[in-house]
Amino acid sequence: MTIRVALAGAGAFGIKHLDGIRNIDGVEVVSLISRDLDKTKEVASKYGIGHVTTDLADSLAMKEVDAVILCTPTQMHAEQTLACLKAGKHVQVEIPLADSLKGTEDVVALQKQTGLVAMCGHTRRFNPSHQYVHNKIKAGEFNIQQMDVQTYFFRRTNTNALGQPRSWTDHLLWHHAAHTVDLFAFQAGSPIVQANAIQGPIHPKLGIAMDMSIQLKTASGAICTLSLSFNNDGPLGTYFRYIGDTATYLARYDDLFTGKEEQIDVSQVAVSMNGIELQDREFFAAIREGREPNSSVAQVFNCYQVLHQLEQQLKA
């Protein structure tokens, strides 16, 4: 059967999903939703998508739509995910699942009630570099003692990944820290039991902290130090150092190195080197097989509990 998909958000990340879906058999994007109709029509014609709208409700009303992928602003994620589930559609929402604990709890509860596939785009679980390390852990060949992570951007103005102006404000804690908080617990195979955070000055116009430092500890004893910045005028992105009992690994996006900077070939870890495509493949496979996907809303719930605790600390 062909899985028919509606995709909301035709910005930088929506296009990454459209490119990934092109490589997946038995999936067709039938509806594209975004706030600027002309731009949306332009993207839809490029990808051969028949239906275009600025209102998610229009797409949810389409009987032929089986599943929805949400690449919309963070502040809309929980509400839109709930709308998809209420409409009987499977849903994958880009990270973060919500920008509050309440939003996360509501989504997890409704997913349980409906039994539909609902997953969150915690892409680091799917990147071949991190999958390689995960496979070593599962095989009993490597255990994490410490993770050191740097998430650095130069974003003193409100722009997206393509450098275009944004209609919403990004967030170091609820968006960028979510990647590492979830990945650390996932790779350690153990829940986070201790978490501390401090932040730098609040930006006068954006109203958010531009620098942040987070410490985490799992029940198994592994620790993580995460440094985040929107002020970094240098190489952008997230760099992971895994320090373990048998090796050290450095992950830079989809590239992986030993602690001595020797590159590790991860091209055979999965069917693609594209983490977004692998994430989408898991979503569609879970729908077909009627199972819980990796990165389901229930699996990532602990991450948002930790983010909530950290937010309370920062407010105090």
- Pairing mode, strands 90-94 and 118-121: parallel
Where does the pLDDT of residue 169 fall: very low under 50, low under 70, confident under 90, or very high at 90 and above? low
What pLDDT score does 164 carry? 65
The amino acid present at 103, given as its one-letter code, is G
Can you count the helices (H) and strands (E) in the chain? 9, 14
pLDDT at 254: 84
For residues 93-120, average pLDDT: 97
Q: How far apart are CA 61 and CA 158, in angstroms?
A: 33
Tokens of 242: 């895994």
pLDDT, position 31? 98
Q: 223 pLDDT band (50/70/90 cuts)?
A: very high
103 alpha carbon, distance to own chain's centre = 16
Q: d(Cα 87, Cα 108) in Å, to the nearest integer?
A: 16
* pLDDT, mean of residues 50-77: 97
Q: What is the predicted pLDDT for the residue at 163?
A: 64
Query: Between 204 and 307, whose confidence is greater?
Result: 307
Smallest CA-to-CA distance from 178 within 273, 98, 73, 77 is with 98
Q: What percent of the chain has pLDDT over 70?
A: 95
Instruction: Find, among 10, 289, 309, 6, the residue nearest to 167 by Cα.
Output: 10
pLDDT tens digit string along 255-288?
999 999 999 999 999 999 999 999 999 999 999 9
Instruction: Specify the pLDDT at position 138.
Output: 97
Who has greater pLDDT, 158 or 174?
A: 174
